[in-house]
Every structure is written in structure tokens, then in C-alpha cells.
Chain A
Amino acid sequence: MQELSDPVKILGEILRGIGATVTVDTNRLSRSTLYDFDYHSAVIACVFAEHATTDAEGRKSVVAGWLKLMQFVAVRPRLAKQVVSWSANRLRYQSMLWHQIPRGFVGDETHDATVDFLIASDILDRRQDNILGGTRFQSLSEMYVRICHDNLFKTEREVIVTLKSIRVIGRC
């Protein structure tokens, strides 16, 4: 195949040569689910179902930073392996393994906004470093049941289960 000096220009020339009309349908733009509230809510429901502990008052609870890291990795499954590797050795070789932490999760504002909204809706609650089930937590539990029933977000759920091998030490 020939080398292309300027492929965009050549494509344009060919299109002009056949008298083609180029249209751009912005309705067909595919937007990333990474910034979708419903998607993040669903992943948070899955994390709570698999990782939440029950406190003295019987409320489901997950360490906030840990929840943020897990949902971040769950929607980016290729990161799971290195996170498990990092956690297995983080106490002994913390300074050598820092590059394995998917630090992009710190700036994941979509998750923060989703949690804030769920807290404002009384579905979740916040206490110090923990995110707890709120008075309307049932809606998140029901969402998880529906996700499992319809076999949705299979990859994300598999990653979340994989991350169970990591021992949480208060905060991440």
C-alpha cells in the first residue's frame, strides 16, 4: 500500500471527486459512560452489595476512599490486575509500587457528584471517612437485584469481586 503524505487531504479529494456530500450527525456521537450518573449509581450499588460491612446500627458502610477507588477500577477493568498487585505488596514496598496506583481516581469528579447526589437524596449518608446506607438505601439495593437479574454490568461486577482479595486498612 502506498505511503500517504496527508491522508485527510487525500480523503477529501476522493470525496470531492465522487461528488459526495459529507454530513455530520451529532445525534450519533457516542459519549463516554464514564461521565454518566446512572452508570456510576449502578456501579456504586454493586460495590455496596459486595464490599459493604454492617455497622453497630445495622447500616451498610464502605470507606469513602475505597469506594471511590473501586468504582474507578470497576469501570476501567484493565486496571484491576495492577491494583491487586499493588495492594498485595503495598505495605512492604510502598515507595516502589506507587506507579501501580491508578491515581486518576483522585480527580474523578463524576463519582464525587454522584455520591453527593445520592446523599442529598437520602439514599446514602456520610460519616467521617465512611459512606453509609441512608434512609432510602433500599432503592440502591433494589437496583443491584435488578442488575443481577438482568445480568447487566457483568465485567464491572467481576472486577468488584476480584478486588475483594484486597484487605482494606481503614483508608486507602
Chain B
Amino acid sequence: MVSWFESHRVVGPLNASLDKYKVASDCSYVDPTAQLTVWGPHDLSTQCAVDDYTLFRVEQHALINKVEQAVAAGTLAPRAVDFEAKFDDLCARRTDRKSAIESLRSHFRSSWGAALTLDNELAATSVRMHRLLEEARIQAAVSARLKSATSLGPEELIEKMREMMVERFFELFGENGLGPLTRRVADGEVGRLIGDCPVEWRSTGAGT
């Protein structure tokens, strides 16, 4: 256990609880003389490798809070001409589904905003994680590029891109690392690929 703060607010109750449990216990599996070992910052810095990645893991909840706040506040990605044009194209071609398409536009734009928040936070706090995320995005696009040469339909292609991002988020942050945000941010990465141009569904020549 490491206590960084010069206060017994955390350590005191833990010691009191340990004494209380030892009295109540038969001590079959615990030595009655066992004590808590408390490390100070110097012990931590000399005995452990504390790098930005370690700190990132400790503070992952703060990162998640920021992304959740961005989602709650409706943080949007900057308006991208191609992003809007692609959804305008869908509206024009499926006038009967206009409402659903507008909902999709809104969802992907706000999810892209959440993905950008995650991106910015990682760029400031863990460059290594940021770089891995960037590589994951590129891999998802390259993989989709290869799959687009097969007989996969648009549904499967976009789904595969999202699933690949979800898998990489699991690898980077752990299975439950981002919790319910995982799918939202993965959708945001799909939104980014639509807005940043690699993903195209308009007629030939559009957006080039």
C-alpha cells in the first residue's frame, strides 16, 4: 500500500480495521503479528517503475470521467464538409429514411466528439497509448480497405471496422476499461473515418 499524502485519513482506518479483524479472526490463514506495510513516495519511486503508462492506469477513471462529460455535454467534432456531404447524399437517396439518417448524423458527430476528447486526453497524459490508438485507427481502415476488395457488403464492412476498434480498445484499456463508453467511442472512430474521408459511399468522383 502506498500513501502519498501526509495524512492518516486513509492509513489510520485501515490499521484500525486490520486490528479489529485480527481480533475477530481465528487467524488460520493470517499471521497474528501481520502488519500493513506502507510505502512512501521514495519507496515507490525507488522500488517501482513509475512511468506515464503506470500513472495512466492509476488515473484511468479520470480519463473516463472526461469522456463521459464530453458525451453528456454533447461535445461535437468540428464540422467537416465531407462528413455533412455524405449524410446529405444519404438523405437525398433515401428520402423515406430521412429522420433515421439525421439521427445517424447526430450520433456519429457526437461520438466523434467523444473520440476526439479521448484522443486529446491521451495525447496529453500518455503518448504511448495515444500512438497505439492512432495505429489501431489506421489498422482498422487498412483492414477495411482489404476487406472491401472481397464480396463483403457495406453492413459487414462498417461493422467489421467498428468491431476491430472495440477489440483494440479492449487490448488498450482492458475488457471493462472504458465500460459502456467502448462502443460509443468505437462508433466515434467510425464517424471520424467517415468525416476524415477514407470511407466513401457517394458516387464516383465525389469528395475527391
Contact = CB atoms under 8 A, between A and B. Distances in A.
Interface residues of B, number: 54
A104 B103 CA distance: 36
B173 interface: no
Given A9-B159, A18-B93, A29-B198, A104 B127 contact: yes
B51 interface: yes
Given A12-B154, A12-B159, A15-B154, A28 B104 contact: no
B97 interface: yes
Contact of B125 (A15, A26, A78, A103): A103
B196 interface: yes
Interface in A1-34: 1-4, 7-18, 20-26, 28-32, 34
Interface stretch (B12-20, B22-30, B31-39, B140-148): B140-148
Interface string A58-93: 000000000000000000101100000000000000
Contacts of A79: 124
A15 B155 contact: yes
Contacts of B122: 104
B51 A2 contact: no
B97 A14 contact: yes
A21 B100 contact: no
B187 A8 contact: yes
7 contacts: A12-B153, A23-B148, A24-B198, A24-B199, A78-B120, A103-B125, A107-B127
Which 4 pairs show the lowest CB-CB distances between chains A and B? A12-B155, A15-B154, A107-B52, A28-B197
